[in-house]
A = this chain, B = another copy of it.
Amino acid sequence: MLNYDVIVIGASAAGATAALTARKHYPQKSILMVRDVKNVPIPCGIPYIYGTVHDPMKNLIPVDKMMSDNNIDVAVDKVVGINRESKSVSTLSGQEMHYQKLLIATGSKPIVPPFPGVKLENVYAIYKDTDYLAKIDSQLDKTKNLVIIGCGFIGAEMAEECRKKNPELNINVVEMQDHCLKLVYDNEYCELAEKALADQNINLLLNEKVESILGDDKVKGVKLASNKELPADMVILGIGCYANTELASAAGLKIGPTKGIWVNRYMQTIDKDIYACGDCAEKVSFFDRQPSGLKLASIATMEARIAGANLFDPRRVNHGVVGCFSTSLNKKAFAAAGLTAQQATEKGYSIIVGESESVNRHPGLMPGAELLKVKLIFDAGNGVIIGGQAYGASSVGELINAISAFISKQMTAEEIATFQAGTHPALTASPIAYQLVNAAESAVIKNRNARL
């Protein structure tokens, strides 16, 4: 029987980061990563296979090199059982491996809803498997009419990349909410994203439910509850994913309310020698500690840095999910952190919103100048920031991380209004017009006026 101090099941963002973190914190421990796929795609990079990097094999996490560089063994095998009493796992190839500490990072699987016709040929979900992803690529080459179901990040990004790949493709995206990306943005930011898609000749159908997928062997169309029929020789499902908890459930580990593996604030399951992190693990919101279904690679790696460090000495604490997102649509960056105004209101917050926009250069004639707008959402009671959204120049991808820092440290509008930002003509808005501080100042004034 193989014997390791640490066994990590999974090799994507969570598994890889957890193994690397364990290595850094426990240089003397033996560590094994078990993964059941030949190649490990970069999860958030998957849409960009189709219009940008052009090959699933160019979108890989270099897991083997990362692990061998850090003295971590890797077994390409599938764990089929966890024996908590003997503290061992058994694999498909018949191995038994003993652990001191086990870390489960089995990720998520795409939701395939029970639409009639969902099993027809040329209906694809987004599985993290390079062969499968390559099949999507070659099917796209033959497709004239594409329907994407769901317009969250995956749906929107897939639509854009399919447009890049084939300027002639007829693309319909069906979303049952009244806006795309509704999970993350307030309506006016959703509308900017909708415009970015429309400007690329992507047809978005909002407030529409899929009734069935049409066809005999192969897909021929999508029928909506509104009775509309969309022609389709290919359908892509982009409606989210669910935690892959099969192994954990079978081992008797507790499953949480959002169907993830229950973990405590140290990322321990009910078995103190078994940790879980990433998409497979249950999460709570940073704001009210209610269950959260958010699944993001950046959350997965945060949890992995906690779980990996805690294995033999639990001291890092998970304060819950802030949720920090970004994407790029039609060359404009969209980012968000924390709660939207709508979510905050639904959670019972009384809120104050501060907004600011400016070009991201000064003077505005500097090369590369483009709009960058910011919306910050504050708890009206104590003035603490609870969310932010940003749109425009690509530096939004890092600006949102300043907002995430503000949220994680519960900064007030007053503090942000006098925050010391760095500014430069070639890199940011002017210090007079700097969006983060001006958005906060506008909230300060609104809040004061509301109280006078």
Contacts and interface: CB of A to CB of B under 8 A. Distances in A.
Contact of A298 (B60, B396, B431): B431
Interface in A49-72: 52-53, 58-61, 66
A42 interface: yes
Interface stretch (A104-112, A131-139, A400-408): A400-408
Given A301-B431, A397-B422, 18 more contacts: A25-B445, A42-B363, A48-B366, A53-B366, A298-B421, A298-B423, A301-B434, A302-B418, A305-B417, A316-B418, A324-B420, A325-B424, A327-B426, A336-B422, A337-B422, A368-B394, A395-B395, A397-B424
Nearest to A415: B408
A365 B59 CA distance: 8
Contacts of A42: 362-363, 425, 430
A402 B407 CA distance: 11
Given A52-B367, A324-B422, A405-B411, A441 B333 contact: no
Given A406-B405, A417-B305, A424 B327 contact: yes
Interface stretch (A13-21, A84-92, A222-230, A240-248): A13-21
A401 B437 CA distance: 11
B422 A326 contact: yes
A419 interface: yes
A389 B405 CA distance: 17
Interface string A179-201: 00000000000000000000000
A162 interface: no
A321 B431 CA distance: 15
A103 interface: no
A168 interface: no
A363 B401 contact: no
A87 B252 CA distance: 79
A309 to B, nearest CB: 8
Contact of A399 (B328, B337, B401, B415): B401
A79 interface: no
Contact of A421 (B324, B365, B367): B324
A211 interface: no
B297 A423 contact: yes
Q: Which of A301, A333, A335, A368 counts the most B-chain CB atoms under 10 A from its CB? A: A301
Contacts of A324: 420-422
Contacts of A273: none
Contacts of A399: 398, 401
B59 A363 contact: yes
Interface string A252-270: 0000000000000000000
A434 to B, nearest CB: 7
A414 interface: yes
A305 B428 contact: no
A306 B415 CA distance: 10
Given A365-B53, A395-B397, A425 B45 contact: yes
Nearest to A41: B363
Contacts of A400: 422
A280 to B, nearest CB: 16
Contacts of A44: 362, 423-425, 430-431
A274 interface: no
A394 B395 contact: yes
A430 to B, nearest CB: 6
B52 A414 contact: no
Contacts of A213: none
Contacts of A441: 21, 24, 305
A316 B409 contact: no
Contacts of A328: 424, 426-427
10 contacts: A17-B431, A24-B441, A25-B448, A42-B430, A305-B417, A326-B423, A327-B427, A396-B427, A401-B436, A408-B415
A147 interface: no
B321 A414 contact: no
Interface in A288-333: 297-302, 305-306, 316, 318, 321-328, 333
